[in-house]
Structure formats: C-alpha cells, structure tokens
Amino acid sequence: MKQIIRIGMDTSKNIFQLHGVDAAEHVVLRKRLGRKQMAAFFAKLPPTVIGMEAAGRRITGPACWVGSVMR
C-alpha cells in the first residue's frame, strides 16, 4: 500500500468509514471498521493527518476518539 498522508473519518455510534489518500491525492484506503477495531488499525499506521466529522455528542464524539487514535 502507498503511504497514506491523510485519512477522513466518518464517525457513528458503532461503525466508522475511513477514506485515505496518498501524496498524489489518489485513494489508497477505503475501510469500514467497528468500534473495537479502531485502535488496532491505527496502531499499525505511521503518523498521519486525520480529519473527523464534527458531532454534538460528548461521550462518543470525535474528541473521545482523538485520544484513542493518538496513543
């Protein structure tokens, strides 16, 4: 797989859609993950920029996932 430079993440309660692009803006990742798969998936990737949708919920919103992804 080519180097992913940016990942867009659409969050929901239990399923997350990921869309990643390389330096040439070509799609190199399209993935649907469950809540339990998120940390393991991001642990295998080198550091990259992640864009998340904004959500109004505090407990399951993007702020909660930022801490999980940054570990």
Q: How far apart are the first and last CA of the chain?
A: 23
By three-state DSSP, how is residue 28 classified? strand
The confidence band for 44, taking pLDDT boundaries of 50, 70 and 90, is very high
Residue 4 phi/psi, 5-degree rounding, is -85, 125
Can you give the pTM of this predicted structure? 0.71
Q: Where are the domains of the chain?
A: 6-70
CATH number of 6-70: 3.30.420
Residue 54 phi/psi, 5-degree rounding, is -85, 140
**Given a cut of 90, is residue 71 above it in pLDDT?**
no
By three-state DSSP, how is residue 51 classified? strand
Arithmetic mean of pLDDT, 11-15? 82
- What are the tens digits of pLDDT across the range 21-42? 999 999 999 999 998 898 899 9
Better-predicted residue by pLDDT, 38 or 58 = 38
Looking up tokens 């339990």 gives: 36
